[in-house]
Amino acid sequence: MPEVRLRHAPAGPVLESEALRLAVRLDEGIFSLTRADSRDEVIRNAWTGVALADGVSLASRGAGFDVERVEPVEDAHGRGRALTLHRRTAAGEPHLALTLTLYEEQPFAVLQSRLANTTGRPLRVQAFHVLQAGPLPHAQAGDWRFYKHGWQSFSPTITVSADDDDIPPFPPIVDPATRPQGQGLISDLVAALAEPASGQTITAGFVSAADQFSQVWLDREDAALTAASYADGVELAAAAELSSERVAVDITSNPMSALLRYGDALAREMGAVSWAHIVTGWCSWYHYFGQVSEDDILANLERLVELRDGLPLEYVQVDDGFQAGIGDWLTANEKFPHGMAWLAGRIHERGFKAGLWLAPFLAGARSRLFADHPDWVVRDEAGGPVVAIQNWEQLCYALDCTRPEVIDWLEHVFRTVTDDWGYDYVKIDFIYAAAVEGVRRDAGATRAQAYRRGLEAIRRAVGGRFVLGCGAPIGPSIGLVNGMRIGPDVAPFWHPQARLGRRISLSLPAAANALRSAITRFWRHNRLWLNDPDCLLLRDSETALTP
């Protein structure tokens, strides 16, 4: 039976599993990670740190570590041993600790930082730099390939050379505003760094994601890697504690297996929910777009009945175009004169399950929702409403999901849609809106926590029905959606129509962009949820696609 062993070297404790060796140099406040079958340090001169909102930063490197405790652990990843170190603290400083865990039957290490406010006054915590390491072996950054993972459904996920310029976010909502200074590459939630000549791969990915957004940075000038967990400046009261998310570090010669292993670990820790089978259906969007009508749905419903033997679909989904306004989901417009409950009944009568699209975290500037409840939206520092997107020929604002009345409203909307109207499936779109930066009623909530509160309200309301996330931040969605859009909209053309430059336009609707994300985000499927690569377009007209 494999075990995790602890031994004491002159410089400090050494923790060893079947796969990894973790060596600490207490007086320097650093540690290294090495494959157990090698003497070469892959992660070396590593340390932990925290950035406070007032600009003060604390780091273990240079300050030194002391051993706080060593203890056996048993969690979602199995049994192992955890070593907790604390930074040697000067008078008046808060207490920073780092827990490093190795497992008996997992080849990765898991790291988590913790800050205890021992200063006697409140502190605002901006970010944990859970892992900072460098320089990496093979000093030339151009020798490495970097797997860059996007923040939300539409954000590009792509592998680039480590000496490439980073891909700029477009539009701004595709990436959080949290971006470190300096030259390098930024990946959200997880990154993999591979050296093709040797096959050496470092995969660093956060296996918890419910409370804080996270990123992995590669600083190409210093050949250094940082795994950051964002506390968003929340206040930490005197004597209170705050922990980072947990990051797994996997050192392997097989990057594909490392991504699959990471997906399994993330799913275990976050309690992922998938679905028993691959769902199939017809969606109104790519033919009718926002002009869809009740008559269009009924006509296609009859055609689907005729084709059922050769095309046995499960769902008929009404997409954008039924609602009176963005936010006014319970009022159908004049194109749906019989209402949405009546239409769900017709879909069921023809032997299909009914699906409905909503963008629940948006309030359009022209909506009745915003007119009646302008205080429900996230505000900027000047007090103005935060724009989540400009679409539907109007500004659309982000709902503040830390407000109890917003949570009550969300539950009412989705209970009406599912319990009263009878819809079996909901597609929730542009839901990154709940995670925009801004001022919320609960100043102690991070962006990730605010977003997840809204998503939890929807899940409570719909129960065990199928929920498809779209335009969704990846990490905090896990465990609450059954399916997830994994790329930009598909389109009846290969490349984006807007002339914005190839790298800027990777998030725009285009068949090539959708296909790229289906490939680069393969490892999520049937681990975190069912991957949704977007619709398959079957047509011989109104298309610019060529073989």
- C-alpha dihedral over 258, 263, 264, 270, to 10 degrees? 140
Count the neighbouring beta carbons within 10 Å of the beta carbon of residue 121: 8
Assigned token pair, 477: 């969605």
Q: Does the CA dihedral 130-135-138-144 come out positive or negative?
A: positive
244 close to 132: Cβ distance less than 8 angstroms: no
Cα separation, 252 vs 19, whole angstroms:
9
Q: Which of 110, 114, 106 is nearest to 86 (CA)?
A: 114
Q: Residue 59, SS3?
A: strand
Assigned token pair, 277: 């089978």
Count the neighbouring beta carbons within 10 Å of the beta carbon of residue 153: 28
Rg (CA), the chain: 25
* Pairing between β-strand 394-398 and β-strand 362-364 as defined by DSSP bridges: antiparallel
Alpha carbon distances (Å) from 114 to 30, 123, 214, 249, 465: 16, 14, 15, 18, 37
Cα separation, 213 vs 127, whole angstroms:
10
185 close to 160: Cβ distance less than 8 angstroms: yes
Active site residues per annotation: 429, 489
* Pairing between β-strand 530-532 and β-strand 483-485 as defined by DSSP bridges: parallel
For 242, the enclosing helix (H) or strand (E) is: strand 241-243
